[in-house]
Structure 1
Amino acid sequence: MRLNRFAAISATAILLAGCATVPPPEMASADTAVGTSMPARAPVPGGPLQPLPADVNTDLPRTAAPAHYRIHVVPDMANLTFTGSSSVEMQVFEETDTIVLHANQLMIDSAILVPLAGGEARMLETTLDADAQLASFTDGASILPGYYRLDTTYEGVINTQATGLFALDYPDKVTGEEKRGLFTQFEAPDARRFAPMFDEPSYKATFDLIADVPVGMMAVSNMPAASEEDLGNGLKRVTFPTGPKMSSYLLFFGLGDFERVSMMASDGTEVGIVAPTGSGEQTRYALESMAPLMGYFNDYFGVDYPLPKLDNVTGPGSSQFFGAMENWGAILTFERILLYDPAISSAGTKQAIYSVQAHEVAHQWFGNIVTMAWWDDLWLNEGFASWMETKATHHFNPDWYANLSRVGGRERAMGLDSYATTHPVIQPIETVAETAQAFDAIAYSKGEAVISMLEAYAGEDVWRGGIRRYMDRHQYDNTKSVDLWRAVEEEGAEGLTDIAVDFTTKPGVPLVLASHTCNGDTATLDVRQSEFSQDRREEAMANPLSWNVPLIVKAGDMQPMRHVLTGSASLTLPNCDAVVVNSGQLGYFRTLYTPDMVGPLAAAVPGLDPIDQLGLVADNLALAAAGYQDYAVGLDMLSAIPADANPVVADAAIGRWASFYGALDDEAQKAKLAGMVTDKWLPRLMQLGFEPRADESLSDANLRSELIGSLGAMGNAAVLAEASRRFALLADDPRAMDGPLKTRWLGIVAGKATPAQWERMLELARTTTSTVERQTYYGLLGATEDPALAQRALDLALTGEAGTASAGIVLGVAANHPEMGHDFAVANMDAITALVDASGLAGFLARLAYTADTPELAAKYEALADGMSADARRPIDRSLLALRIGFERQPVLRRQVGAWVDAQ
């Protein structure tokens, strides 16, 4: 097992009643000749538009805005190209000679401007700026204010990574024959690869989509198909009707040999799963999980879902940038987290299928019906959907203890937020090209943590009332974060805006310093605000930022005490019991307790609520990692987690022990630690057994998997023997390991794989008809510790045989062979770039850089980054900073953890 050293760096994969109130505009048919005049028209649908406000960023001149698009595409799947024609109805606000839209990878053949109120159509000259991704359409004379339609014809590219219109190749689930499907991914800057567009979130419009496609294939878009017309020559024309007004990044088109299963949700929406033909019952779990979410979200938001259907379309591949996308009415989710295959899907995968789908369905309201005005408020989409996914998962599956995951999310955020390279939740984004870097743990996990804290401050009923007020007020519109705070305050959460603004506009993590004095039957708790930092501790303590920090304090069985901390305060408590300053763990801050407080806290850990057990351990180990206290404080709390703890708490505990085992370099200390952990936790594994049970909870199934993986990483003989025994059975039966633990057992074998075992996994990858299995086997080939096999895995990645799993192979090799991974990447950078979707490249390189295991290798990655733009290198800089601090802290970690082990 390779330790994720020192600091958590997130890899981080992810919204009215009724439809449009005006009839869809009449448009020229696809056969209308270029330049044909149109009848006189009324102003654009919905009435006059408004120029984009000056306080909303844009790459475009503010001279025009769209109302409606009619896009007609003809894909050539074999040659990975498409032709298109687009008509954009728009309003021009001021006299100009040029209309500017976004366009990328498009060759525009013609452009004609048609006045909607009547008049002569005018041929425009097109100028493309590839770097700025802009198309300028210029007339020799002025274009006066008014209403127009811009007709263009063009050619585009079908990509092989998840960018714009892209293709995924996969084996037929029955025959194994190679198939190809088409999908779109437009967030954030890639709808412009599909047609010339005003491709920014505030330029909302309605869309019609027409596609000429092979007769035997299924075409999917945001709305249900209105008609299909046989064109002859094996083609049909599929027409999708006008849907509600939306941002361009939410448009979707999919095409392939698909099947669709559907059912009616309680709110009357038809929900469906669209998957490659032959998926069959693998779609059942996602379908039956999605239907109840519709009524739940309708009720929570107080606004009904406006489309007649909601599909979740599965893509048989992967992306280095995202796992799912909330296209309105047609979610796109990669197969590994949508289809439940009993042959290989783990309990964790089942949980991921549910939570990811809940996240994307929540976006249908929060993000799609109401959309952020510009990408600097991206967090409001993603943080809110992350928070809502947890809320919905807990509501429908209480025995999964989903609310406990809020601690893990908080820790992922703080792992990034406690470095100087962090950024505020609401971060300045000047151009859409910068947006890819905004999809990180700050947007998702800190966003979720801050919303959880704000809900706790406002109270559930007041918070929901504010959300409903916000949704009703801004449906089909664009907003900024302050619009949400205003709505919740109006509902009764006085003072919430001050807290929310602090935690969304200021970077970093508050630190609450706590001391405690017992006064007989009562106690005094003194709290003072500071700032937590991993790389500038002294500066942060001497000159901290300040926040309005909402505390929920609890000592023993007292009722929780609420206090908003600004500076310092003294609180009187009704007893002298151990104090938890962040009771319930919903506050986004760390707490540094005085030494006399941590002993009673550790002793109290077995009797605390599970979420406080998780939070206290995480908090105190993070404080140790940053040098605020000795590791012994956190290790005492970790060791106090009882062997019969809540399964989610136990899962986290055993994983932490395995990480410390991997961090030690003294073999005697490692052996002693492994013995201690085995003595305590092996009985829990034996109680659960190696085989899943039909009546067990999902959280117990997850715990079994973690116990097997962590004990195996610590060299437990029984676990390693069982993994080898099971793998040997594959020689006679490729299905011998089928079941929810298949990937776990394979992972244990993969690291120590012999050449014969490696070859067997390669053979299984090549022969399986399951896309998920195929990607799993290919990915495991890169996990080998054998240098010769690692080189073979890298050579395999270059061939493209592994498809979208190729980039994962490279990362797997680098994790065990950092120097080899670096040298391979430098020597084959162009090929690697082709293996990763454009939006995911910077993140991929950051994860690759984080595999560096020496300062010298980290310096090589720094040299590699020197040739990159500031946007592209920002994630790499974060990785390198975390590595530098980690290298400095590594001796301290080993010394303090080793001393604690010796003392036991």
Structure 2
Amino acid sequence: MRSLPRTFATISAIAALATAWPTLAAPAASAAAPLDQSIPSDLPRTARPSHYQIEVTPNATDLTFAGKARIDLQVFTQASSLTVHGNGLKVASAQLIAAKGGKSLPLTVAADDAAQTLRFDSASPIAPGAYRLDITYSGTIGTQPSGLFALNYPDKRTGKDTRALFTQFEAPDARRFVPSFDEPSYKATFDLSAIVPANLMAVSNMPAAREEKLSGGLKRVTFATTPRMSSYLLFFGMGDFERTVKKAADGVEVGIIAPAGSGDKANYARDGLAEILPWFDDYFGVKFPLPKLDNIAAPGSSQFFGAMENWGAIMTFERILLLDPATTSPAEIQDIYSTQAHETAHQWFGDLVTMAWWDDIWLNEGFASWAADKITAHFHPEWDFQLNGVDGREGAMAQDALPTTHPVVQKIRTVSEMEQAFDSITYEKGQATIAMLEDYVGADIWRAGLRSYMTKHAYGNTVSSDLWTAIEGAGAKDVNRIAQAFTTIPGVPMLRVQSATCKAGQTSLALTQDAFSLDPQSRGGAKPLWPMPLLISVGDAAPTRHLMAQKTETVTLAGCGPVLVNSGQLGYYRTLYDAPSLTKLTQTFGSLKPIDQYGLVRDNLSLSMAGYQDMAAGMNLLSAMPANASATLAADTAALWQMTYGLLEKGPVRDRMGALISRTWSTRLQQLGFEPKAGEALTDTKLRAQLIATLGVAGDTAVVTEARRKLQALATNPAALDGPLKRTWLDVAARNATRADWDLLRQQAGKASGVVERQLYLSSLGRADDQALAKETLALAISGTPDATSASQMIASVGSVHPELAFDFVRANQAAVYKLVERAGRPRFIARIVAASTDPKMEGKLKTFAATLPADEAKPVVQAQTALRQRVATRPTQRAQLAAWLAKSARR
């Protein structure tokens, strides 16, 4: 186990801290007031819940469940009906009983499927007061991860197919499980009980308070009452599970719950959770308020999410929770840690303090992403995890620079808009904005503000301005001003360095603020003004902070030398240097810090690809990366070479790029060797995987030959590829697969002993360059043989290589494909499939498809159409400039 942070180094230190936790205000026992008019709602605001008592009886075989719900609520105005959320639920009976006793009021129900609501009508008026709403109902268990759903998987001990149940309620799907006030501001406490087979484990947010043996081989499991929380955080799971536990340093029991037979594959995650939880206790200044925190491994996958932060009962798909030496890649080992850190951070940012409405969902996701990177870098400094922030920034800007972008704080009013809110703007731009603000105000002030925010708003709901008020209350300046701009103004700021002049030992910078856009047609006209926190370094001097609040400014700094504006790479903006300044940075590139090297390369490649400068500017920096760069930086750089290779069409130019990549990176791979070495650093294993992937894509003969050899060995040894590079070698082999290779991969999928391994083989089928094999993969996906989540992965894999083929197949077989994808996620699924397309004809196809959808559902497709238009417009120039750069490089 990795040593705990210094704050929690000893048990005696824990004891000393135990009295230091702030006393949180106890959540109200009953609803005190109707929902404020400032908070959006689908419901009429006539009532508010305080407590749910739910009993569920699932039938995993028939995929149905029976439910009983008792909802304690307060009615505020006289009404003839009560309206709650319900989706796909059939109500058998309902009655309303006054809390003080008396005659019950029978209710009749009317369902509004479009609004996803249930209206309970009373023959006599319902007077203001406290009541209990009793409902008997039933529902269906789905096969996609929303509501209460089932996952089928091979038993790890016997190989026989088995089934487990899980819930996924974010954003609007608790209403599939129980009639409820299914909005984040309607917080309440929950008592959940479940009648389940006696030989299975039932799991929820709280520990089981008691179990009762029932007839027919069943038992009733009743869980302890939850804290006051939003409905989307409720969790229920049932299956043949095992649990491994550990006491964290703060006394909370942490556990990993996994399919039986998982054994020590859960240990890495369990030990990580035990060190993550108390670190967040200390950082946020509020101890985790539940008696246990479980993370439940769900076999299978989703196209749209990897884990969910249910309070006290995180759910994570197995691939990024259980460490299997036979299949888990080095990148996935890091993902296990950082994903768990993300979901644990949510236990405070999202669960304890929740956004008032989905407009501010970034308060959950942006902060959890930022906190996850922070704690991962703390416990694993050897991973150089700060580079991950640069990748996040770039991912956000790729969407934020399109005309179809939206602000971080966005207007959300429909269920479809809720589902689509979980994108790179919410996560990565939110994270980048937070990192920039923390760096600007200072880590100590930032943490003091967060602690104040947590204490004040515990068990409540907030909007973004509540956070800025807390940060400024801790002593920060200009936070509200900067944050408002970066969270409410869509788009990417761009700083133009017009000139850098050195005179008498001082450098004078002429700076102009602009906006970066991937759409040339939108680059004219008025631009927003962002207060931009700059951190500028000149030569070897310490960086200087400057808040740029005007469109054009001149900044004078001490010292002379190359000028780096976004020193540390925490500013959310692009920097377009004048040619002399960029030349100086390129010439002295090797002396920069790794974070600045990587950030500068990524920034300039993006500027080049968008047409703000020649591709040579970005490629010169990429080529300047030192050969002895750290393993993490080298891996990230190799991935960028792979990306530039992917810009080119098959032909002589791409062949020259492939040869250059082989010359650049094959020596580093030879030094590492094809096989992992005992005791080597995880970053070296990850670098090896990336080099194999990059060289394999570029057609390096040695790598492609080795991948074919390893694949063919599977015919006689099913474990021939086992190890941390299994996914990597499969991808390379699958890309170059023959018909015989494809058949072998399919056979291995049928023999796989676990769902992760099976999906690994099935998804690799779709990566074949051969179109005939890609077509067979698509046909197999809808044949009924793979499970739904595996099948949708196969189609997406084909889309990554043959986007036009995959799109046409989906449209031609829409009914069959739609059975594999949850309804709310279908537009995003289509957008993902065409993300690599450069076919001009695809734009018309997407436009036609978008016209078949309601406007709020069509947004992802419209975004994909816009991104495609940009790729089609810029790719010819990119290719021509890369060809010229390669020709010039060859003459050097």
Mapped to 2, the partners of 1:662 and 1:269 lie a distance apart of: 48
- 1:744 counterpart residue number: 728
1:679 equivalent in alignment to 2:663? yes
Offset of residue 621 of structure 1: 1.1
TM-superposition CA deviations, 1:653-677 (whole Å, max 9, x none):
2122122223223733333333333
Q: Aligned residue for 1:169?
A: 152
AA in 1 matched with 2:838: D
Residue deviations 1:722-753, cap 9 Å, x none?
11121121111100111100110011111221
1:518 correspondence with 2:505 = no
Aligned residue in 1 for 2:12 = none
2:157 alignment partner, SS class: coil
Contiguous gaps of at least 5 residues in structure 1: 1-15, 23-44
Counterparts of 2:389 and 2:356, CA distance in 1 = 27
CA distance in 2, matches of 1:48, 1:82: 29
Aligned match of 2:4: none
2:864 matched to 1:875?
A: no
Matched residue of 2:91: which SS? strand
Equivalents in 2 of 1:388, 1:739: separation in Å? 30
- Alpha-carbon distance in structure 2 between the residues aligned to 1:18 and 1:847: 47
**In the alignment, what sits opposite 1:622?**
606
Query: Which residue of the partner structure matches residue 585 of structure 1?
Result: 569
Q: Out of 666-675 and 738-747, give the one that drifted further.
A: 666-675
Q: What number of residue pairs does the alignment pair up?
A: 866
Report Cα offsets for 1:390-443 as digits up to 9, x if no partner: 001001100001111100000000000001100000000123442011100000
Shift of 1:161: 0.5
Is 2:387–2:595's contact at 8 Å kept on the other side of the alignment?
Answer: yes
1:60 partner letter: L
Q: Deviations over 1:753-809 (max 9, x none)?
A: 122221111111111111110110111111122233222211211123221111111
SS of the equivalent of 2:652 reads helix
Q: 1:811 is aligned with what amino acid?
A: A
Give the residue type in structure 1 aligned to 2:487: T
Partner of 1:849: 834
- Tell me if the contact between 2:31 and 2:73 (Cα under 8 Å) persists in the aligned partners: no
Correspondence 1:715-726 to 2 at 5 A: 715-726=699-710
TM-score (norm 2): 0.95
Q: Per the alignment, in what secondary structure is the counterpart of residue 819 of structure 2?
A: helix
Equivalence for 1:755 = 739
Distance (whole Å) between structure 2 residues aligned to residue 863 and residue 273 of structure 1: 46
Find the counterpart in structure 2 of residue 149 from structure 1: 132
Indicate whether 1:502 and 2:485 are aligned: yes
1:534 aligns with 2:525: no
Please show how residues 563-642 of structure 1 align to structure 2 within 5 Å: 563-567=546-550, 568-642=552-626
> Are 2:187 and 1:201 equivalent residues in the alignment?
no
The equivalent residue for 1:657 is 641
Match of 2:809 in 1: 824
Identity %: 49
In structure 2, what is the Cα distance between the partners aligned to 1:616 and 1:204?
45
Distance in 1, Cα, partners of 2:836 & 2:94: 49
**SS of corresponding position for 1:137:** strand
Match of 2:208 in 1: 225
Alignment-derived partner of residue 847 in structure 2: 862
Higher deviation after alignment, 58-67 or 514-523: 514-523
Structure having greater relative contact order (Cα 8 Å, sep ≥ 6): 1
Deviation at 1:650, TM superposition (A): 1.4
Kept in 2: contact 1:17–1:305 (CA 8 A): no
Q: Distance between the aligned counterparts of 1:301 and 1:521, measured in 2?
A: 44
SS of the aligned residue for 1:119 comes to: coil
Does structure 2 conserve the Cα–Cα contact (< 8 Å) formed by 1:19 and 1:244?
A: no
Tell me how far 1:48 sits from its aligned partner.
4.8
SS in 2 for 1:501: helix
Where does the alignment leave 5 or more consecutive residues of structure 2 unmatched? 1-20
How far, CA to CA, are the matches of 1:348 and 1:58 in structure 2? 41
Q: Is the 8 A contact 1:850 1:880 kept in 2?
A: no
Match of 2:79 in 1: 96
Query: 2:652, 2:781 → 1: CA distance?
Result: 39
Contact 2:363–2:464 (Cα < 8 Å) also in 1: yes
Cα distance in 2 for partners of 1:461, 1:619 equals 29
Alpha-carbon deviations, 1:254-301, whole Å to 9, x = none? 000001110100001100000000000111110011001111000000
Q: Is the 8 A contact 2:492 2:573 kept in 1?
A: yes
**Equivalent residue in structure 1 for 2:476, among 493, 505, 521:** 493
- Is 1:784 equivalent to 2:757 in the alignment? no
SS of structure 2 residue aligned to 1:854: coil
Q: Once superposed, what is the RMSD of the aligned Cα atoms?
A: 1.4
Q: CA deviation at 1:377?
A: 0.2
Amino acid at match of 1:634: G
Deviation sequence 1:161-214 (CA, Å, 0-9, x none): 001000000000111111000000000000001110000000000000011000
Q: What letter is aligned with 1:446?
A: K
Alpha-carbon displacement from aligned partner over 1:457-494 (angstroms, at most 9, x marks no partner): 11000000000000000000000000000000010111
2:821 to 836, 844, 857: 836
Aligned-partner SS, 2:258:
strand
Residue-by-residue CA offset, 1:62-110 (whole Å, 9 max, x unaligned): 1110000000011111100000010000000111111000000100011
Residue 704 of structure 1 is aligned with which of 681, 688, 699?
Answer: 688
* Aligned twin of 1:549: 532
Q: Tell me if 1:323 matches 2:306.
A: yes
1:817 to partner: Cα distance: 2.9
Measure the CA separation in 2 of the matches of 1:494 and 1:702: 41
Structure 2 counterpart SS, 1:657: helix
Deviation at 1:520, TM superposition (A): 4.0
* 1:247-266 matches, cutoff 5 A: 247-266=230-249
Which of 372, 375, 378 does residue 355 from structure 2 map onto? 372
Q: 1:292 aligned to 2:275?
A: yes
Matches for 1:442-453 after TM superposition, within 5 Å: 442-453=425-436
Residue number in structure 2 paired with 1:118? 101
Q: CA deviation at 1:853?
A: 3.3
TM superposition shift of 1:814: 2.8
Q: Does 1:899 align with 2:872?
A: no
Shift of 1:576: 2.2
Query: Following TM superposition, by how much is the alpha carbon of 1:678 offset from its aligned partner in structure 2, in angstroms?
Result: 2.2
Indicate the residue corresponding to 2:675 in structure 1.
691
**2:768 is the counterpart of 1:801:** no
2:94 maps to a residue whose letter is A
Normalised to the residue count of structure 1, the TM-score between the two structures is 0.94
**Where in structure 2 are the equivalents of 1:351-500 lying within 5 Å?**
351-500=334-483
Instruction: Note closer, same or farther for the CA distance 1:322–1:18 as it changes in structure 2 (3 Å cut).
Output: farther
CA distance in 2, matches of 1:604, 1:690: 33
Q: 1:890 aligns with which of 875, 884, 889?
A: 875
Distance 1:377 1:354 in 2: 26
Task: Tell me which amino acid in the other structure corresponds to 1:878.
Answer: Q
CA contact (8 A) 1:320 1:837 kept: no
Q: Do 1:19 and 1:306's aligned partners in 2 also have CA atoms closer than 8 Å?
A: no
Aligned to 2:329: 346
Q: Residues 103 and 20 from structure 1, CA distance in 2 versus in 1: closer, same or farther, beyond 3 angstroms?
A: farther
CA distance in 2, matches of 1:162, 1:681: 41
Separation in 1 of the partners of 2:814 and 2:431? 35
Evaluate the alpha carbon distance shift between residue 603 and residue 412 of structure 1 in structure 2; reply closer, same or farther with a 3 A threshold: same
Q: Distance in 1 between matches of 2:211 and 2:231?
A: 24
Of 198-207 and 688-697, deviating more is 688-697
Q: Partner of 1:71 in structure 2? A: 54
Secondary structure of the residue aligned to 2:238 is strand
Structure-1 separation of matches of 2:60 and 2:822: 19
* 1:644 partnered with 2:628: yes
Q: Distance in 2 between matches of 1:328 and 1:662?
A: 42
Matched residues in 2 for 1:364 and 1:652: separation? 31
